[in-house]
Amino acid sequence: MPIDIAARVLANRPLSSDYNVLALAAPAIAAIATPGQFVMVKANAGADPLLRRPFSIFEILRDARGDVTGITILSKRIGVSTSLIYDAREGQRIDCLGPLGRPFTIVEPPTHACMVAGGVGLAPFATLAQALRARRVTSTLFYGARSAAELFYLDFFRDLGVELLLTTEDGSLGERGRIVAPLDRRLAGMPASTGVMIYACGPEGMMAATAKTAMKYGRPCEVSVERVMGCGLGGCYSCVVPMRGADGVVHNVRSCIAGPVLPGDQIQWD
């Protein structure tokens, strides 16, 4: 059952002129959240902007004793609501409803995990990487962004023992180009007997390319989709994704309750 908390802002850390990490005192949400779930956030009182915005739960915060204290969200400033998130001040209250949605399937060894992130799509992978490590699953983060300045938290993943493969569109760090290229090479080089699970989150084109690459090699792939979302609870039918059902017919599926994590091979990519 989701919980609505008027969460105090514990810290607001800008990562760049667009990206920030907002820490929210929401222990009740943190205590029950699982990797891939999201929260619906509203940073202003009143009706303008009116609706909440969905954010993946980025990190689970703990105090010195190891007790959960809250969550963080990773935000990229795009419009009015994300500007309010970017400019939020410590001590301010922000409405935070969650945890919501269907999480990632966490694999077991010896299956290897490939996490594929584009830009702000890094968000669900911090908690996923921790959960995979707790199960001793080896993992690789394929992480692409426009430039080196937009690749964040690399040490966080290195410290968890995650292999990093980076790409930038301008070549300023890692390989120049899109993140699907190194993923494709890695999958091509893997014997069929090696189990692999692919997790993806990022721009629509990147997720479509990742899902198609996974299908090419016959590998399972879960994508965390981002849609314009009105409520996060299945009430408004805004956030639908066309998916091929068991009947072979394409149906519009609500990504807030059927997802946000969905099987990549069932989505009808444009």
Residue 236 as a binder of other proteins (CB under 8 A): the answer is: yes
Q: Which stretch binds other proteins (CB under 8 A): 68-76, 133-141, 148-156, 250-258?
A: 250-258
C-alpha–C-alpha distance, residues 35 and 125, integer Å = 8
Q: Which of 8, 15, 18, 49 binds other proteins (CB under 8 A)?
A: 49
Residue 207 as a binder of other proteins (CB under 8 A): the answer is: no
Buried b (16+ CB within 10 A) or exposed e, 102-128: bbbebbeeebbbbbbbbbbbbbbbbbb
With respect to other proteins, which residue has the nearer C-beta, 124 or 232?
232
Least distance to other proteins from the beta carbon of 83, Å? 14
With respect to other proteins, which residue has the nearer C-beta, 98 or 174?
98
Residue list 59-118, contact with other proteins (CB under 8 A): 95, 97
Q: What is the C-alpha R_g of the chain?
A: 18
Q: Which of 76, 93, 212, 227 binds other proteins (CB under 8 A)?
A: 227
**Local structure of residue 267 (DSSP, 8 states):** B
Of 71, 68, 60, residue with least CA distance to 23? 71
Segment holding 31, helix H or strand E: helix 27-32
Determine the size of the site formed for other proteins (CB under 8 A): 30
Residue 239 as a binder of other proteins (CB under 8 A): the answer is: yes
**SS3 assignment, position 236:** coil
Q: Which stretch binds other proteins (CB under 8 A): 66-74, 108-116, 187-195, 229-237?
A: 229-237
Q: Which of 92, 217, 257, 263 binds other proteins (CB under 8 A)?
A: 257
Residue 238 as a binder of other proteins (CB under 8 A): the answer is: yes
Q: Which stretch binds other proteins (CB under 8 A): 13-21, 22-30, 133-141, 228-236?
A: 228-236
Look up residue 269 and give its two tokens: 């990519």
Rounded to 5 degrees, φ, ψ at 186 are -65, -45
Bond preceding residue 110 cis, omega within 30 of 0: yes
Q: Which of 67, 108, 237, 245 binds other proteins (CB under 8 A)?
A: 237
**SS3 assignment, position 128:** helix
Residue 1 as a binder of other proteins (CB under 8 A): the answer is: yes
Q: Give bridge partners of residue 244 from the DSSP assignment.
A: 250
First to last CA, the chain: 34
Site residues (vs other proteins, CB under 8 A): 1-2, 4, 42, 47-52, 95, 97, 227-228, 230-231, 233-242, 250-252, 257
